[in-house]
Structure 1
Amino acid sequence: MPSFPRPDLGPLTRRSALATLGLTGAAIGLAACTGSKAPSGNGSPGASQSPDAPPSKAKVTITEPAAAATEVPASAEIVFTATDAASTQVTLKDAAGADVPGEPHPDGRGWLPAKALAYGTAYTVTVTATDSDGRAATATSTFTTMAQPDKVVSVVSFLPDGAVVGVGMPLIFRLSRKIPQAQRADLQRRLLVRTTPAQEGIWTWYTPDELHWRPREFWQAGTKVFVDVRAGGLPLGEGYFGKRNATLTCSIGRSLVMVIDDKAKPKVMKVVKDGVTVRTIRVSLGRANMPSSSGTTVIIERLAKTVFDTTSDPNPSNRYRTNIEYAQRLTWGGEFIHAAPWSVKDQGVRNVSHGCVNMSLADAKWLFGQTMIGDPLTTKGTSRKLQYGNGWTDFDKPWDEYVKGSAIPYTPPPVDASPSPSASPVA
């Protein structure tokens, strides 16, 4: 099992695999635009009343940004309180009087502009609350955004726009600097995930500069995924701000899941495609002193031809340099699925590899033609437990443990309700 350094996910070293979200396009205009009915019961104001009409029972107050505030971040949300209101509507205009579209944030905490506001610009916000009799009350406020900051943080997606991946693939976003604990929930709220069909899922902080999102179970085959990054202008601690808004669209392919039970006889990999076992492959795993890892990881790299070179290993007995065909990486530590014609007599019988999953050339070629990045492999029965983070191991962690990595406390969806497209508690 060769030891390989974890590849840099930066856009310069894996240009074909990365999409810098600051460059992939502006955030889309969302459903509740200025001057239209907002979703979730929000609506247009009622008709104007005559001077003798009784006042509206509704009361509305804009709380954020504060009236006449200056130096407001370009990520500002409109926060207001309304009582005795059957519906509410937000209208935001820039200094030229142009409407700024937006919608209520999925967590209901505020009204979120569809794009980051312009720097150094005055805005006017009007919130209209309409009571059950159709009488309207309004509140109006003005504020001015801050100057463009010098220190910014970029958000980078591992997946390029339009990617098609396997059912075990997490969404992976890296940041150009570590985010302090105090700002992580604010950023997490601005990474909106929408899936079709809807599936419950959550963000977890893999590291201070990397977030992953996974559904509770493996993705449903054919899922369409849309990520709306609303980080432009967002304060991210120590004088840094989000660089810009962006979007990412990707999809999940067919379901292909691989399973190995090292205790079974013969030792085989079962390949299950869309719920049907399509092939059983005899394998040989890591020998006693170099066992393969038990747990769930996914294919993170595919190489039709490569060279395994461990000639720098301090232990002479572990040194080798071998041409390899149909290699599929499972861990950063060097575990692969690959063709091993030299161990065919051992495959299905005993473990002789350096930690990799050995199979015949014919089986390795067939499997290589079936798989894609993100297809999961679950291995059981070996003496070594998969180390969390050694590969994309999101689905190796139980859900009740995984949610603890969220900066926003996890709230299970109602038992009798389907999860929302932006699956609790992502926001």
Structure 2
Amino acid sequence: MERTVSGRTPTGRTATRRGLLAGAGLVGVAAGLAACTSDKGSGGGTGGATESPKPDPNAAAATIVTPAKDATGVSAATEIVYELKNATEATVELKDANGTVVTGELRADGSSWVPAKTLGYSMAYTLTVTATGSDGKTGTTTSGFTTMAKPSKTVRVTSFLGDNAKAGVGMPLMYKFSRAIPEAQRAEVQKRLFVSSEPVQDGIWHWFSGTEVHYRPKEYWQAGTKVNARLAIGGLDMGDGYYGKGDITLENLTIGSAVIMVADNKTKQMTVTKDGKVVKKIPISLGKPSTPSSSGTVVIIEKFVHTIFDTYAELGPELGYRTPIDYAQRLTWGGEYIHSAPWSISSQGKRNVSHGCLNMSPANAKWLFNLTSIGDPVITKGTERQLKNGNGWTHWNMTWDEYVKGSAVPFVSAVTPTPAPSESESATPDPTASATATATPSA
């Protein structure tokens, strides 16, 4: 299974750590110990103490770094950090006081082992790390710790999406905290926000405020992608004496076909593509000069087969209107929609007469409504007004570099680059050969 972004989502497997990590003070290695001596040379006798076996300096060994041995008050969101010596891999076993095994998984960069769920409060745990050397021999280290008491001040987190949802290729993952996370604490919180996708795609979190953090991939999601997320904040220090109330997960978000709409003010046409192929060009009427449509990239926020546009409260009795609308698809919080407009058919494809919406015929509006999903991108070009970030889901109105600036931790690619051919490889590919490509996730 391929996975992506800021660490692998813990999935419930007992993890194996591979590779040699250098470390000092490793358990199981008694460096610099002198060999025991016999009585030879002190009296000429042949008797005396039996020589003790020397510790093997090449034996596989592990040192548990975090949590410290017999530590108390350990965070229920703790991660297991250990170091290896003379080892090619290691296994981690964590058990609670009842002997129940807690599953978990290594971060993709191997920096720590993450339990698959929040640990219990005021509970004792036994931790065993077994290192395996290249010769197959093992070295085992055991430790124990007790977790913190249940906190009284907690922060809840809520998700816009639910399990088994379906969305368009531009859909962001959006989460809200019940209390603002202090800026100094956001990096530690963000490190516990895991997203995985199949296939693996780069992406990052962006803090829009202390209470909102959103995730988007570097490019639009690939059609058919499966996305899972775990915000592992249960028991996590959220700053100012507050702790995460509990983990929240998103399971089996399915990304649909790549439906992308481009509305061009110059041609008064909307070009609709599906999976890279143009499937329709629709005549439209955009916002007139006094109420122009916004140029920029948004995604569809919500959809209504039937609704009523009521602007009396906003515009007053002289300019306001109340109109039934069919096949409405919201683009901005400011009130711009794609919708059916039978009253402007004669202007569609020719001139702009709307209050900022993208008007189209009832037949075209129904056809498009049945094609699209929440999260499908809509790009409007060439109007008198530029889209303001925050007026809708404007994640794609920012460049990737701009989006990365909103992260509290540096971006690290999850996608392994394809290696360049070596000089010994033929420059001409073999047409009969088959090829596969794989990507390895990283933190």
Aligned to 1:10: none
1:130 and 2:132 equivalent? yes
CA contact (8 A) 2:298 2:395 kept: yes
- 1:148 maps to a residue whose letter is K
- 2:307 maps to a residue whose letter is T
Distance 1:182 1:419, change over 3 A: farther
- 2:263 maps to a residue whose letter is I
Q: Secondary structure at the match of 1:405?
A: coil
Distance in structure 2 (CA, Å) of the matches to 1:228 and 1:282: 43
1:255 maps to which of 226, 247, 258: 258
Trace 1:5-404 onto structure 2 (pairs within 5 A): 29-31=11-13, 33=14, 38=16, 40=18, 54-249=56-251, 250-264=253-267, 267-314=268-315, 318-404=319-405
- 2:222 maps to a residue whose letter is Q
Give the TM-score taking structure 2 as reference length.
0.81
CA contact (8 A) 1:198 1:419 kept: no
- 1:399 maps to a residue whose letter is W
- 1:206 maps to a residue whose letter is F
Q: CA deviation at 1:300?
A: 0.6
Distance in structure 1 (CA, Å) of the matches to 2:344 and 2:438: 48
Distance in structure 2 (CA, Å) of the matches to 1:227 and 1:40: 25
Q: CA deviation at 1:225?
A: 0.9
CA contact (8 A) 2:416 2:440 kept: no
Q: CA deviation at 1:136?
A: 3.2
Q: Secondary structure at the match of 2:365?
A: helix
Distance in structure 1 (CA, Å) of the matches to 2:83 and 2:153: 33
CA contact (8 A) 1:306 1:324 kept: yes
Q: CA deviation at 1:233?
A: 1.1
Distance in structure 1 (CA, Å) of the matches to 2:320 and 2:69: 70
Q: Secondary structure at the match of 1:269?
A: strand
Distance 1:316 1:419, change over 3 A: farther
Any stretches of 5+ residues in structure 1 without a counterpart? 1-26, 43-49
Q: CA deviation at 1:201?
A: 1.2
Distance in structure 1 (CA, Å) of the matches to 2:280 and 2:440: 35
Q: Answer with 411-420 or 247-256: which moved more.
A: 411-420
- 1:343 maps to a residue whose letter is S
CA contact (8 A) 1:219 1:252 kept: yes
Distance in structure 1 (CA, Å) of the matches to 2:304 and 2:18: 48
CA contact (8 A) 2:168 2:374 kept: yes
Q: CA deviation at 1:176?
A: 1.5
CA contact (8 A) 1:195 1:421 kept: no
Bigger Cα Rg: 2
Distance 1:290 1:378, change over 3 A: same
CA contact (8 A) 2:205 2:216 kept: yes
Coordinate RMSD, CA, aligned: 2.3
What do the CA deviations read for 1:266-298 (whole angstroms, capped 9, x no partner)?
Answer: x10011112221111111111112111111101
Aligned to 2:46: none
Q: CA deviation at 1:415?
A: 3.1
Distance in structure 1 (CA, Å) of the matches to 2:317 and 2:137: 85
CA contact (8 A) 1:56 1:135 kept: no
Q: Answer with 337-346 or 405-414: which moved more.
A: 405-414
Q: CA deviation at 1:207?
A: 2.0
Any stretches of 5+ residues in structure 2 without a counterpart? 1-8, 21-51, 420-436
Aligned length: 385
CA contact (8 A) 1:272 1:278 kept: yes
CA contact (8 A) 2:416 2:439 kept: no
Q: Secondary structure at the match of 1:328?
A: strand
Distance in structure 2 (CA, Å) of the matches to 1:40 and 1:154: 36
Distance in structure 2 (CA, Å) of the matches to 1:62 and 1:130: 15
Distance in structure 2 (CA, Å) of the matches to 1:51 and 1:136: 18
Query: Percent of aligned positions with the same letter in both sequences?
Result: 53
Q: CA deviation at 1:343?
A: 1.4
Structure 1 segments of 4 or more deviating over 4 A? 39-42, 50-53, 314-317, 417-422
Distance in structure 2 (CA, Å) of the matches to 1:165 and 1:320: 32
Q: Answer with 230-239 or 182-191: which moved more.
A: 182-191
- 1:137 maps to a residue whose letter is G
Distance in structure 2 (CA, Å) of the matches to 1:175 and 1:335: 28
Distance in structure 2 (CA, Å) of the matches to 1:420 and 1:228: 21
Q: CA deviation at 1:206?
A: 2.1
- 1:320 maps to a residue whose letter is Y
CA contact (8 A) 2:18 2:88 kept: no
Aligned to 2:424: none
Q: CA deviation at 1:161?
A: 0.8
Q: CA deviation at 1:97?
A: 2.9
Q: CA deviation at 1:419?
A: 8.4
Distance in structure 2 (CA, Å) of the matches to 1:315 and 1:165: 36
Q: Secondary structure at the match of 2:343?
A: helix
Aligned to 1:23: none
Give the TM-score taking structure 1 as reference length.
0.84
